[in-house]
Copies of this chain bind each other. A is one copy, B any other.
Amino acid sequence: MSKKNVIVAQSGGPTVAINASLAGVLDAALRNENYETVYGSVYGILGILEDHLINLNEQVEKNPEFINTLKVSPAMYLGSCRYKLPDYENDDATYEFIFKQFEKYNVGAFFYIGGNDSMDTVLKLSHYGKQIGSDIRVIGIPKTIDNDLCITDHTPGYGSAAKYVASSILEVAHDTFIYSVKSVTIVEIMGRDAGWLTAASALARNEYNSAPHLIYFPEVAFDKEAFIADVKDQLSKRNNVIIAVSEGIRDKEGNYISATTATNDQFGHSQLSGTGKCLEYLIKDSIGVKVRSIELNVLQRCAAHISSLTDLNESFALGSHAVECAVNGQTKCMLTLNRVSDKPYEITIGTADIQGIANEAKSIPREWINEAGNDITDALHDYMAPLIEGEPIVKYNNGLPVYLPVGHLDAGK
């Protein structure tokens, strides 16, 4: 069998672990005798459509630390896109072009690292490939901080984001506990449809820190009166109450708490308030206690200096494993993590048909949230705890973490 090349791309929202999967693909493909050149497609699938590829072998040759540094660098080295392929029944010109590109670059396998939308691309390309009798392997490697992909036990990127959330809550607790004045602090956490990341706030609890004292999830309808009662109850027990809330909480009619908040600022523009801000003003008005809201924002998905080594190692392993799968002839599949046990933590890597994964989402099972809907259960704690374990070695230069340059900008120089 003559040697083939591979193309790898990244798509969707950034995580701290998505470059670790890229590093895993690159490392395994370079070592594998079936493959020659690894091309990175810039801005996801768009790089193939626009013929914008980076030769990653050259990057490794230039920089012997390339793969190690890539593994700990945040966001996407190759850039991302939010592009959904058209249905091939309606528009097979796009597909025809993509497979012509594969031919042009002598591609044996295409790896797409991403979330739900990216798995849709894997599904469509696999289908089309089968239809035209192509033997190019099309394989998905999951990632999302939201942890909402089906079949896989958890998603690469989630563990690091969870670690960031938990450590931030712990540090905010230290910041909050210093005053004798009663106060409420609301921390708004990402997760539009699933509360996995918000749940991770509970990992901040230790022998001296009981925060967060209340947790609210998109999975449970938000009730304003119950919320106020919860906060009053907590304030009767302690000086400083810390609340973790998902940005995606909704009332029982399904309306986002944040979405109905239309406001006007000084320049006369309409604003949409964040969920945390909304709850801040609700407490201020109904209880009158000192209150502050904090939005953790994009640092949840890009603070690579405090990533989880477990997460990075798993992400890297999925990348390597994807290359093996391609060599073994697998296609139309996504790599999965399967849990063997919580304590000691043990997982295996497998694959699943992409059909049952793309365009599906996984919420927290209701039984992993307490009855009142304002805290997690022990089962959810045991599920999450191992995922934030371990710290990668991050080098510092001039006082700042050393990451790889953003590749498509750097290589374009």
Contacts and interface: CB of A to CB of B under 8 A. Distances in A.
B263 A265 contact: yes
A303 interface: yes
A277 B294 contact: no
A93 interface: no
Nearest to A42: B180
A88 interface: no
A282 interface: yes
A76 B178 contact: yes
A43 interface: yes
B203 A400 contact: yes
Given A166-B400, A208-B409, A403-B170, A265 B294 contact: no
A355 interface: no
A270 to B, nearest CB: 8
Interface string A199-212: 00001101111000
A179 B284 CA distance: 38
A391 interface: yes
B208 A175 contact: no
A332 interface: no
Interface residues of A, number: 80
**Interface hub of A81, A180, A301 (most chain B Cβ within 10 A):** A180
Nearest to A171: B302
A409 B179 CA distance: 11
Interface in A163-182: 163, 166-168, 170-175, 177-180
A297 interface: yes
A174 B406 contact: yes
A38 interface: no
Contact of A175 (B295, B298, B305): B298
A172 B298 contact: yes
B298 A285 contact: no
A14 B405 CA distance: 34
A399 interface: yes
B400 A396 contact: no
Interface in A11-40: 14
A278 interface: yes
Contacts of A63: none
19 contacts: A74-B171, A76-B178, A80-B178, A82-B179, A163-B399, A163-B400, A168-B299, A171-B401, A172-B298, A174-B302, A206-B398, A224-B267, A265-B277, A267-B282, A269-B281, A271-B277, A294-B295, A295-B295, A388-B400
Given A75-B178, A171-B303, 13 more contacts: A80-B178, A81-B179, A171-B302, A177-B409, A204-B400, A206-B398, A266-B273, A267-B281, A267-B285, A269-B285, A294-B295, A295-B297, A388-B399
Closest 8 CB pairs of A and B: A263-B263, A208-B405, A388-B399, A269-B281, A175-B302, A75-B174, A261-B266, A80-B178
